[in-house]
């Protein structure tokens, strides 16, 4: 009776029909090995708990602000929301890319040139998106222009 209550794998193993499975080990990836006392650093953005919390905050900000930005365009709220999103999106991606680097690129030590390169690309991305948000039509306006016909674009620019 007790034998029938055992899971099938254990029954087969006890009968000698299959080998016993090793116990599963739960191991963290290298990027999850964050240190609570590590300083806040955007170069090694996957090494501190504070940056991990910032990652989660940028995720929530993106989740809340993106639909508002799309629905509020064009209005007086468009530019401030676009400016915030111009910083939040690249910062969120930067932290995530640092986790990927730690897990898959062995040469990506905390102060390597690869990390500084990613930081430079993140900075340039923020500057580019800020330029689009302040000087041009903004992030949402540029996105909406993707689905507009050339005639609609010309009409909207002529009316300004």
Annotated binding residues for a ubiquinone, as ranges?
104
Rounded to whole angstroms, how far apart are CA atoms 117 and 94?
11
Show Cβ contacts of residue 76 under 8 Å, excluding neighbours closer than 6 positions: none
Rounded to whole angstroms, how far apart are CA atoms 14 and 156?
76
Interhelix angle 138-146/78-104, rounded to 10 degrees, is 80
Query: What CA–CA distances, in Å, run from 62 to 84, 91, 107?
Result: 9, 11, 31
Phi, psi of 48 (to 5 degrees): -125, 155
Query: Which residues contribute to the annotated binding site for heme b?
Result: 92
Query: Which residues contribute to the annotated binding site?
Result: 92, 104
């Amino acid at each position: 009776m007790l034998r029938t209550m055992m899971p099938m794998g254990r029954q087969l193993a006890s009968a000698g029909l299959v080998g016993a499975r090793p116990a599963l080990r739960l191991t963290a990836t290298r990027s999850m090995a964050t240190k609570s006392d590590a300083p806040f650093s955007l170069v090694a953005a996957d090494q501190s708990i504070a940056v991990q919390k910032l990652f989660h905050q940028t995720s929530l900000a993106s989740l809340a602000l993106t639909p508002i930005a799309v629905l509020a365009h064009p209005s007086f709220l468009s530019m401030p929301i676009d400016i915030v999103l111009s910083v939040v999106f690249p910062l969120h991606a930067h932290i995530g890319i640092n986790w990927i680097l730690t897990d898959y690129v062995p040469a990506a030590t905390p102060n390597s040139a690869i990390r500084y390169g990613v930081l430079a690309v993140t900075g340039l991305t923020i500057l580019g998106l800020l330029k689009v948000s302040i000087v041009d039509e903004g992030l949402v306006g540029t996105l909406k222009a993707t689905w507009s016909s050339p005639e609609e674009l010309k009409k909207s620019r002529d009316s300004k």
